[in-house]
Amino acid sequence: MSNHSQGTLILTRGEVTELLDLNACIEAVERAFRVHGEGAAPDPAMLGIHVAGGAFHVKAGVLDLGRSYFVAKTNANFMNNRTQFGLPTIQGTIGLFDADNGVPLAVMDSIEISIQRTGAATAIAAKYLARPDSTVAAVAGCGEQGRVQLRAVATVLPLKTAYVWDIDRTRADTLAAELGDELGCTITVVDDFASATRNADVCITCTPSREYLLSDEDVRPGTLVAGVGVDDPEKKELDPALMAASTIVVDVLEQCATIGDLHHALESGVVTREDVHAELGAVVAGRTPGRTEEDEIVVFDSTGMALQDAATTALVYERALTTGAGRVIDFGS
């Protein structure tokens, strides 16, 4: 299994899920942010192409984890898939290569990796940017991403209460029923997200919204706001007024300026690139301070860095080699 000169390892979503756990993912993604912040990896790259009804995103990066890996993730995002075709909104695959010789090491489903590495990034942001005594979270968007966001934040903060909101009330009710006992906190479904965020220490938005969900009037001093859902110039979650009133931390500056909530704030003229406090990697690496004041509002603009995918994919691959999971195909035969 370990001799991949003879083939490429293939892993399904189910196999990836069995090999990946959130705590290990958080550890791997934090390492990726630190490497990025230290300038020890080439800048990750992104390509986006729109088609009728959806879009394709390609994110790629190189990460040295004792062995040098190249990862390219191709995700398709079609908002109406569930209602029109009964298909997932997001589908995709990840290619993992040996960055020293180009050997294709693995191809695997991308969905579980995308879910968990996105939650992991918010956990890391909460670790470095939230007040350590934060006990109340508010989450907009109660699909798979809403679940992993709550689970991830609960690993680094002493959550006691969570408010959840979704445009589909049933999804919010289901999340609350599933996670309340698991996380040991009180989860309340709300009909007005902004009313909940005014009482929260951490606010997370993970929706495909085309309208702003939060403004500066909806967030109290000392809050961490994680904008997770915006990965396309047409999406928007955080009002530019909130961005202007906050300390802005991004995952990748150029990427957020192109497709994140930062993009809309820049276009509106209320902030400039120079107003961005830091990339999260610089904070993790200790090159830039994170939160400096108790009453500071910090916004983390999370668009998804390719090195998160690289670190998580490498983790899954190395675990697969140990367990014998998956099957090998020789594409060159």
Any catalytic annotation for residue 73? yes
Alpha helices in the chain (DSSP H): 13-19, 22-37, 81-85, 111-129, 144-154, 169-183, 193-197, 240-244, 253-259, 261-268, 280-284, 306-323
Q: Determine whether 135 is exposed, middle or buried from the number of CB atoms within 10 Å of its CB (0-12, 13-18, 19+).
A: middle
- CA-CA-CA-CA torsion for 219, 213, 57, 149, nearest 10 degrees? 50
The residues that bridge with 168 in the sheet, in sequence order, are none
Report yes or no: 318 and 4 within 8 Å, Cβ to Cβ: no
Q: Report the C-alpha gap between 141 and 208 in whole angstroms.
A: 9
Report yes or no: 123 and 152 within 8 Å, Cβ to Cβ: yes
Q: Which residue has the tokens 């809403």?
A: 146
Strand order in 247-250's β-sheet?
186-189, 161-165, 136-140, 202-205, 224-227, 298-301, 247-250, 276-279
Name the token pair of 31.
């390492």
Catalytic annotation, pick one of 73, 127, 235, 236: 73
Q: Find the helix or strand (DSSP H, E) in which 57 lies.
A: strand 54-64
Active site residues: 73
